Amino acid sequence: MEQIQIETESKTYPLYLGENILSELPSVIKDVKPNTSQILVLTDEAVNERYGDKMIEALAAYSTVYKYVLPSGEQAKSFDHYYACQTFALEKQLDRNALIIAFGGGVIGDLAGFVAATYMRGISFIQVPTTLLAHDSAVGGKVAINHELGKNMIGAFFQPEAVFYDIDLLNTLPEKEWRSGFAEVIKHALIHDVEFYQWLKTTIKTLSDLREDALIYALKKGISVKAAIVKEDEMEAGVRAHLNFGHTLGHAIESECGYGKISHGEAVAIGMLFAMDVSNALGKTKFPVSEIASWFKQFGYQTSIPSHLEKERLLKKMQADKKSKQSDVYMVLLEEVGQPYVQKVENDLILTLLSQQLENSN
């Protein structure tokens, strides 16, 4: 089991990475939260069906362990489900020494983290991710729920006590989830690490290549990128915004399609290609977007905006992005691989490029 320190201005905590290590979770809890009185496991239906009993068995040393099971998918990140979790915690009389375990993918991590951040004004939680995508979302302390007018618009910065990443839990992931998570791996390479990007292009030809040693390497590299950026800018006042590369349009697509209709990573893949188009249009770069899109297609990504979406509605959602200021769209762009920057992009240019993409998708 490897250990990586995640350092932020408010807190430093460990990330554990290994295979078939769930039985070691109690020792981690004793290290990071020795006075734990009660444990609440928040998970979803799919993870509970496969691993719920295994998690409860791993926590057998604790006398008071509760489990609350949420629906699988993005719809769980709603105010109604957030409220239901709070109600359950209150009914079970969780106290300030209770510990919440976020046992699932990015959706559960975001929701459980926000529950922990706001229950009794904040109790401890540990991230136990079960998806590839969660290598990104489980690190850095951004927790939130969705609103119909925008993704992750209601939330907080709240760091976990630890992240516990057992890659054995990834074995039963469907291909769609591998695809969604791999988009964030690609994103980390594009914004921070040219050598990692080249390694991905030469080594990972299909999603099945992302296993065993290659998976561990990719996870460590992706996590190290996220950790370095979070260390410099915990509250997204500066460079942390670079982690939103591909997300301005990606979140708009997710919202317009209806949360869960297109996966986060698949929407971000389209958003990254669009951001490269914008970078090229501003004259700073000459990204071979069609070549990169062909690489994306090897993994089954859709590379153009779904044809039923409307450019004006997408622009409106982009204007509501957290980086936007007074309805001006600010996007994360690239000067080249490893050199991101944030810039205001005029609405006319966005609409023109959206029109081109939508025409190509018809």
Q: Is 11 a catalytic residue?
A: no
Examine the residue annotation and report whether 188 is marked as an active-site residue of this protein. Answer: no
Instruction: Respond yes or no: is residue 142 known to be catalytic.
Output: yes
Has 81 been annotated as catalytic? no
**Which tokens in the block code for residue 354?**
């959206």
Q: Could you say which of 33, 226, 242, 317 is catalytic?
A: 226
Catalytic residue check, 256: no
Q: Active-site residue 244, yes or no?
A: yes
Q: Which among 77, 81, 135, 142 is annotated as catalytic? A: 142
Question: Are the CB atoms for 232 and 239 separated by under 8 Å?
Answer: yes
Q: Which position among 236, 254, 256, 266 bears the catalytic label?
A: 236
CA angle 46, 165, 297 (to 5 degrees): 70
Q: Are strands 2-7 and 12-18 parallel, antiparallel or unpaired?
A: antiparallel
Q: Answer whether 224's CB lies under 8 Å from 4's CB.
A: yes
Which candidate in 240, 256, 266, 317 is catalytic? Answer: 240
Q: Which of 67, 188, 221, 247 is flagged as catalytic?
A: 247
Point out the catalytic residue in the list 184, 234, 256, 266.
184
Based on the residue annotation, tell me whether 177 is a catalytic residue of this protein. no
For the chain, how many helices (H) and strands (E)?
14, 11
Strands in the chain per DSSP E: 2-7, 12-18, 39-44, 65-70, 99-104, 124-129, 142-147, 150-157, 162-166, 329-336, 339-345
Catalytic residue among 151, 244, 266, 317: 244
**What's phi and psi for 204, nearest 5 deg?**
-100, 100
In the residue annotation, 2 being an active-site residue is answered as: no
Task: Classify strands 99-104 and 124-129 as parallel, antiparallel or unpaired.
Answer: parallel
Question: Which residue is catalytic, options 135, 251, 254, 317?
Answer: 251
Q: Which helix (H) or strand (E) holds 318?
A: helix 311-319
Set 35, 91, 121, 362: catalytic member: 121
Q: Which residues are catalytic?
A: 121, 142, 184, 226, 236, 240, 244, 247, 251, 264
